[in-house]
Structure 1
Amino acid sequence: MTSTSKEDMSALRKKITATLVGISATATIAGCAVTDTEPDSAASPSALNTSPASSGSASHRGPYDDGEYSVDGEYGTRGSSIGVAITLEDDEITAAEVTPHATNKTSLALQRRFADAVPALVVGRDIDDVSLDRVAGNSHTPAGFNDALEKIKAEATG
Protein backbone atom coordinates (compact mmCIF):
# COMPACT_ATOMS: atom_id res chain seq x y z
CA MET A 1 0.00 0.00 0.00
CA THR A 2 1.15 3.50 -0.63
CA SER A 3 1.18 6.15 2.06
CA THR A 4 -1.81 7.86 0.46
CA SER A 5 -3.94 4.75 0.57
CA LYS A 6 -2.94 4.13 4.21
CA GLU A 7 -4.07 7.67 5.01
CA ASP A 8 -7.27 7.13 3.05
CA MET A 9 -7.89 3.84 4.93
CA SER A 10 -7.22 5.54 8.27
CA ALA A 11 -9.64 8.35 7.42
CA LEU A 12 -12.24 5.81 6.28
CA ARG A 13 -11.86 3.81 9.53
CA LYS A 14 -12.36 6.99 11.55
CA LYS A 15 -15.51 7.84 9.56
CA ILE A 16 -16.89 4.33 10.00
CA THR A 17 -16.09 4.35 13.72
CA ALA A 18 -17.71 7.77 14.17
CA THR A 19 -20.78 6.61 12.25
CA LEU A 20 -21.09 3.41 14.27
CA VAL A 21 -20.69 5.30 17.52
CA GLY A 22 -23.42 7.71 16.39
CA ILE A 23 -25.72 4.84 15.45
CA SER A 24 -25.04 3.09 18.75
CA ALA A 25 -25.73 6.25 20.74
CA THR A 26 -28.96 6.85 18.81
CA ALA A 27 -30.11 3.25 19.36
CA THR A 28 -29.26 3.48 23.05
CA ILE A 29 -31.14 6.74 23.49
CA ALA A 30 -34.16 5.44 21.57
CA GLY A 31 -34.10 2.21 23.54
CA CYS A 32 -34.16 4.04 26.87
CA ALA A 33 -37.52 5.59 26.11
CA VAL A 34 -39.17 2.25 25.49
CA THR A 35 -37.23 -0.28 27.51
CA ASP A 36 -36.61 1.65 30.71
CA THR A 37 -36.57 -0.82 33.58
CA GLU A 38 -37.25 1.59 36.42
CA PRO A 39 -40.47 0.91 38.34
CA ASP A 40 -43.39 2.81 36.85
CA SER A 41 -41.03 4.63 34.49
CA ALA A 42 -42.17 7.64 32.54
CA ALA A 43 -41.87 6.13 29.06
CA SER A 44 -44.01 7.46 26.26
CA PRO A 45 -47.76 6.91 26.58
CA SER A 46 -47.57 5.38 23.10
CA ALA A 47 -45.86 2.35 24.67
CA LEU A 48 -49.24 0.71 25.24
CA ASN A 49 -49.26 -3.04 25.33
CA THR A 50 -51.92 -5.58 26.12
CA SER A 51 -51.71 -9.28 25.81
CA PRO A 52 -54.37 -11.93 26.18
CA ALA A 53 -54.54 -13.57 29.57
CA SER A 54 -53.36 -17.12 29.47
CA SER A 55 -56.07 -19.64 30.14
CA GLY A 56 -54.16 -20.76 33.22
CA SER A 57 -53.93 -17.30 34.80
CA ALA A 58 -57.50 -17.25 36.05
CA SER A 59 -58.94 -19.89 38.30
CA HIS A 60 -62.23 -19.53 36.47
CA ARG A 61 -63.24 -18.47 33.00
CA GLY A 62 -66.67 -16.99 32.27
CA PRO A 63 -69.55 -16.83 32.25
CA TYR A 64 -69.61 -14.12 34.87
CA ASP A 65 -72.57 -12.34 36.42
CA ASP A 66 -73.41 -9.05 34.74
CA GLY A 67 -73.00 -6.01 36.92
CA GLU A 68 -70.78 -3.29 38.26
CA TYR A 69 -67.74 -4.32 40.28
CA SER A 70 -65.31 -2.16 42.20
CA VAL A 71 -62.17 -3.42 43.96
CA ASP A 72 -58.64 -2.35 44.80
CA GLY A 73 -55.80 -4.00 42.93
CA GLU A 74 -52.51 -4.35 44.77
CA TYR A 75 -48.99 -4.48 43.37
CA GLY A 76 -45.38 -4.05 44.34
CA THR A 77 -43.74 -4.62 47.67
CA ARG A 78 -44.74 -1.39 49.41
CA GLY A 79 -48.50 -1.81 49.43
CA SER A 80 -49.18 0.15 46.24
CA SER A 81 -52.74 -0.05 44.95
CA ILE A 82 -55.24 1.37 42.49
CA GLY A 83 -59.01 1.33 42.44
CA VAL A 84 -60.65 -0.46 39.53
CA ALA A 85 -64.33 -0.27 38.62
CA ILE A 86 -65.59 -2.49 35.81
CA THR A 87 -69.03 -3.02 34.31
CA LEU A 88 -69.60 -6.49 32.83
CA GLU A 89 -72.26 -7.53 30.33
CA ASP A 90 -72.07 -11.04 28.85
CA ASP A 91 -68.44 -11.29 30.06
CA GLU A 92 -67.53 -8.15 28.09
CA ILE A 93 -66.13 -5.09 29.81
CA THR A 94 -68.51 -2.29 28.87
CA ALA A 95 -67.05 0.37 31.16
CA ALA A 96 -63.80 0.73 33.08
CA GLU A 97 -62.49 3.32 35.49
CA VAL A 98 -59.21 3.37 37.39
CA THR A 99 -58.80 5.48 40.52
CA PRO A 100 -55.23 6.35 41.53
CA HIS A 101 -54.35 5.87 45.20
CA ALA A 102 -50.75 7.11 45.17
CA THR A 103 -49.77 9.96 47.45
CA ASN A 104 -46.27 10.54 46.05
CA LYS A 105 -46.41 13.24 43.34
CA THR A 106 -44.48 11.22 40.76
CA SER A 107 -46.37 7.98 41.41
CA LEU A 108 -49.69 9.82 41.31
CA ALA A 109 -48.84 11.33 37.90
CA LEU A 110 -47.95 7.87 36.58
CA GLN A 111 -51.13 6.31 37.96
CA ARG A 112 -53.20 9.11 36.39
CA ARG A 113 -51.63 8.47 32.96
CA PHE A 114 -52.34 4.78 33.42
CA ALA A 115 -55.94 5.52 34.43
CA ASP A 116 -56.46 7.67 31.35
CA ALA A 117 -55.14 4.96 29.00
CA VAL A 118 -56.92 1.89 30.40
CA PRO A 119 -60.51 2.32 29.16
CA ALA A 120 -59.42 2.41 25.51
CA LEU A 121 -57.53 -0.84 26.04
CA VAL A 122 -60.17 -2.89 27.84
CA VAL A 123 -63.68 -1.66 26.99
CA GLY A 124 -65.30 -3.95 24.44
CA ARG A 125 -63.09 -6.93 25.31
CA ASP A 126 -63.94 -10.19 27.07
CA ILE A 127 -62.66 -9.95 30.63
CA ASP A 128 -60.82 -13.28 30.24
CA ASP A 129 -58.85 -11.86 27.31
CA VAL A 130 -57.54 -8.83 29.21
CA SER A 131 -54.14 -8.79 30.87
CA LEU A 132 -52.23 -5.53 30.85
CA ASP A 133 -48.46 -5.45 30.59
CA ARG A 134 -46.86 -2.00 30.20
CA VAL A 135 -49.25 0.91 29.81
CA ALA A 136 -48.50 4.63 29.50
CA GLY A 137 -45.01 4.14 30.85
CA ASN A 138 -46.17 2.13 33.83
CA SER A 139 -44.43 -1.17 34.32
CA HIS A 140 -45.84 -2.08 37.75
CA THR A 141 -49.29 -0.47 37.92
CA PRO A 142 -50.69 -2.93 35.34
CA ALA A 143 -50.02 -5.70 37.87
CA GLY A 144 -52.43 -3.92 40.21
CA PHE A 145 -55.02 -3.74 37.46
CA ASN A 146 -54.58 -7.44 36.67
CA ASP A 147 -54.91 -8.23 40.39
CA ALA A 148 -58.17 -6.28 40.47
CA LEU A 149 -59.47 -8.18 37.43
CA GLU A 150 -58.81 -11.51 39.17
CA LYS A 151 -60.72 -10.27 42.25
CA ILE A 152 -63.60 -9.11 40.05
CA LYS A 153 -63.73 -12.47 38.28
CA ALA A 154 -63.93 -14.24 41.64
CA GLU A 155 -66.68 -11.88 42.82
CA ALA A 156 -68.62 -12.18 39.52
CA THR A 157 -68.68 -15.96 39.71
CA GLY A 158 -72.16 -16.55 41.05
Structure 2
Amino acid sequence: MRALNRLNKKVTAAALVGVSAAAALAGCSSPDEASTTSSPLTSSSASPETGAPSTAEGDYADGKYRADGEYGTQDSSIGVSLTLDNGVITEADIEPHATNETSRDYQERFAEAAPDLVVGRDVDDANLDRVAGSSGTPDGFNDALRKIREEASR
Protein backbone atom coordinates (compact mmCIF):
# COMPACT_ATOMS: atom_id res chain seq x y z
CA MET A 1 0.00 0.00 0.00
CA ARG A 2 2.86 2.38 0.84
CA ALA A 3 4.46 1.75 -2.56
CA LEU A 4 1.15 2.62 -4.20
CA ASN A 5 0.98 5.90 -2.23
CA ARG A 6 4.50 6.79 -3.36
CA LEU A 7 3.59 6.01 -6.96
CA ASN A 8 0.46 8.17 -6.69
CA LYS A 9 2.51 11.04 -5.25
CA LYS A 10 5.07 10.74 -8.05
CA VAL A 11 2.36 10.73 -10.71
CA THR A 12 0.69 13.74 -9.10
CA ALA A 13 4.01 15.58 -8.82
CA ALA A 14 4.85 14.82 -12.46
CA ALA A 15 1.47 16.14 -13.55
CA LEU A 16 1.98 19.34 -11.55
CA VAL A 17 5.38 19.90 -13.12
CA GLY A 18 3.90 19.39 -16.58
CA VAL A 19 1.15 21.90 -15.91
CA SER A 20 3.66 24.39 -14.45
CA ALA A 21 5.96 24.02 -17.45
CA ALA A 22 3.06 24.43 -19.88
CA ALA A 23 1.88 27.55 -18.04
CA ALA A 24 5.38 29.01 -18.07
CA LEU A 25 5.79 28.35 -21.78
CA ALA A 26 2.35 29.75 -22.56
CA GLY A 27 3.33 33.01 -20.89
CA CYS A 28 6.37 33.50 -23.12
CA SER A 29 5.61 35.91 -25.92
CA SER A 30 9.07 37.05 -26.96
CA PRO A 31 12.72 36.22 -26.33
CA ASP A 32 13.06 39.41 -24.25
CA GLU A 33 10.39 38.22 -21.83
CA ALA A 34 11.84 34.69 -21.56
CA SER A 35 14.37 35.85 -18.98
CA THR A 36 11.56 36.53 -16.51
CA THR A 37 9.82 33.17 -16.81
CA SER A 38 10.62 30.03 -14.91
CA SER A 39 12.42 27.10 -16.40
CA PRO A 40 11.81 23.41 -15.85
CA LEU A 41 13.26 21.73 -12.81
CA THR A 42 16.38 19.71 -13.15
CA SER A 43 17.00 16.46 -11.38
CA SER A 44 19.90 14.11 -11.07
CA SER A 45 21.07 11.25 -8.94
CA ALA A 46 24.05 13.29 -7.76
CA SER A 47 24.28 16.80 -6.39
CA PRO A 48 26.24 18.97 -8.85
CA GLU A 49 27.84 20.85 -5.96
CA THR A 50 29.18 17.82 -4.09
CA GLY A 51 28.96 14.89 -6.49
CA ALA A 52 27.44 12.90 -3.64
CA PRO A 53 24.60 10.53 -4.46
CA SER A 54 21.19 11.62 -3.31
CA THR A 55 19.52 9.87 -0.40
CA ALA A 56 17.16 7.07 -1.35
CA GLU A 57 13.50 8.05 -1.51
CA GLY A 58 11.63 7.67 1.75
CA ASP A 59 14.72 8.08 3.92
CA TYR A 60 13.75 11.58 5.07
CA ALA A 61 12.11 12.38 8.38
CA ASP A 62 8.86 14.30 8.11
CA GLY A 63 8.93 17.83 9.51
CA LYS A 64 9.86 21.44 8.95
CA TYR A 65 13.42 22.32 7.96
CA ARG A 66 15.26 25.58 7.38
CA ALA A 67 18.65 26.36 5.87
CA ASP A 68 20.49 29.29 4.34
CA GLY A 69 21.90 28.60 0.90
CA GLU A 70 25.00 30.40 -0.32
CA TYR A 71 25.90 31.22 -3.91
CA GLY A 72 27.99 33.47 -6.09
CA THR A 73 31.26 35.19 -5.39
CA GLN A 74 29.97 38.00 -3.16
CA ASP A 75 28.75 35.94 -0.20
CA SER A 76 25.13 35.99 -1.37
CA SER A 77 22.60 33.85 0.48
CA ILE A 78 18.90 33.08 0.65
CA GLY A 79 16.81 31.41 3.35
CA VAL A 80 14.78 28.32 2.52
CA SER A 81 12.15 26.70 4.73
CA LEU A 82 10.56 23.43 3.62
CA THR A 83 8.03 21.05 5.12
CA LEU A 84 8.53 17.40 4.16
CA ASP A 85 5.94 14.66 4.28
CA ASN A 86 7.07 11.20 3.18
CA GLY A 87 9.91 12.75 1.16
CA VAL A 88 7.59 15.20 -0.64
CA ILE A 89 7.76 18.98 -0.21
CA THR A 90 4.37 20.13 1.08
CA GLU A 91 5.28 23.74 1.92
CA ALA A 92 8.06 26.07 0.81
CA ASP A 93 8.99 29.55 1.94
CA ILE A 94 11.90 31.55 0.57
CA GLU A 95 13.42 34.46 2.50
CA PRO A 96 15.54 36.98 0.54
CA HIS A 97 18.68 38.17 2.34
CA ALA A 98 20.12 40.58 -0.26
CA THR A 99 20.62 44.24 0.61
CA ASN A 100 21.73 45.37 -2.85
CA GLU A 101 18.68 46.63 -4.76
CA THR A 102 19.30 44.56 -7.91
CA SER A 103 20.07 41.36 -6.01
CA ARG A 104 17.07 41.91 -3.76
CA ASP A 105 14.83 42.22 -6.83
CA TYR A 106 16.09 38.90 -8.23
CA GLN A 107 15.69 37.18 -4.86
CA GLU A 108 12.16 38.53 -4.35
CA ARG A 109 11.04 37.39 -7.81
CA PHE A 110 12.64 34.00 -7.17
CA ALA A 111 10.97 33.77 -3.73
CA GLU A 112 7.58 34.38 -5.32
CA ALA A 113 7.98 31.83 -8.15
CA ALA A 114 9.97 28.98 -6.56
CA PRO A 115 7.36 27.54 -4.16
CA ASP A 116 5.01 26.79 -7.07
CA LEU A 117 7.83 24.84 -8.73
CA VAL A 118 8.78 22.64 -5.76
CA VAL A 119 5.64 22.05 -3.67
CA GLY A 120 4.35 18.57 -4.48
CA ARG A 121 7.75 17.35 -5.71
CA ASP A 122 9.96 14.72 -4.17
CA VAL A 123 12.76 16.48 -2.26
CA ASP A 124 15.33 14.59 -4.36
CA ASP A 125 13.88 16.05 -7.58
CA ALA A 126 13.45 19.67 -6.53
CA ASN A 127 16.71 21.19 -7.83
CA LEU A 128 16.06 24.46 -9.67
CA ASP A 129 17.79 26.08 -12.60
CA ARG A 130 16.92 29.57 -13.93
CA VAL A 131 13.76 30.90 -12.27
CA ALA A 132 12.03 34.27 -12.75
CA GLY A 133 15.03 35.68 -14.59
CA SER A 134 17.46 34.69 -11.87
CA SER A 135 20.28 32.29 -12.61
CA GLY A 136 22.27 32.77 -9.37
CA THR A 137 19.57 32.60 -6.72
CA PRO A 138 18.60 29.03 -7.69
CA ASP A 139 22.16 27.99 -6.82
CA GLY A 140 21.53 29.31 -3.30
CA PHE A 141 18.22 27.46 -3.17
CA ASN A 142 19.90 24.23 -4.29
CA ASP A 143 22.61 24.68 -1.63
CA ALA A 144 19.94 25.11 1.07
CA LEU A 145 18.05 22.12 -0.35
CA ARG A 146 21.22 20.00 -0.07
CA LYS A 147 21.59 21.04 3.59
CA ILE A 148 17.94 20.25 4.29
CA ARG A 149 18.29 16.80 2.69
CA GLU A 150 21.30 16.10 4.91
CA GLU A 151 19.46 17.21 8.05
CA ALA A 152 16.27 15.32 7.19
CA SER A 153 18.16 12.09 6.47
CA ARG A 154 19.78 11.87 9.92
The two structures have a TM-score, normalised by structure 1, of 0.71
**Distance in 2 between the 1:135 and 1:153 partners?**
21
What letter corresponds to residue 91 of structure 1 in structure 2? G
Q: RMSD value over aligned CA atoms?
A: 1.4
Structure 1, unaligned stretches of length 5 or more?
1-29, 35-42
In structure 1, the partner of 2:76 is: 80
In structure 2, the partner of 1:60 is: 54
The two structures have a TM-score, normalised by structure 2, of 0.72
1:72-151 alignment runs, 5 A limit: 72-151=68-147
What letter corresponds to residue 50 of structure 1 in structure 2? P
In structure 2, the partner of 1:14 is: none
**Paired residue secondary structure (1:149):** helix
Indicate conservation of the 8 Å contact 1:64/1:91, yes or no.
yes
**Structure 1 position 51 matched with structure 2 position 47:** no
In structure 2, the partner of 1:39 is: none
Work out the percentage of aligned pairs sharing the same amino acid: 54
Indicate conservation of the 8 Å contact 2:88/2:123, yes or no.
yes
The Cα shift of 1:31 comes to 3.7
The Cα shift of 1:105 comes to 1.1
**Paired residue secondary structure (1:64):** coil
Structure 2, unaligned stretches of length 5 or more?
1-29
The Cα shift of 1:32 comes to 4.6
In structure 1, the partner of 2:12 is: none
Indicate conservation of the 8 Å contact 2:41/2:117, yes or no.
no
The count of aligned residue pairs is 119
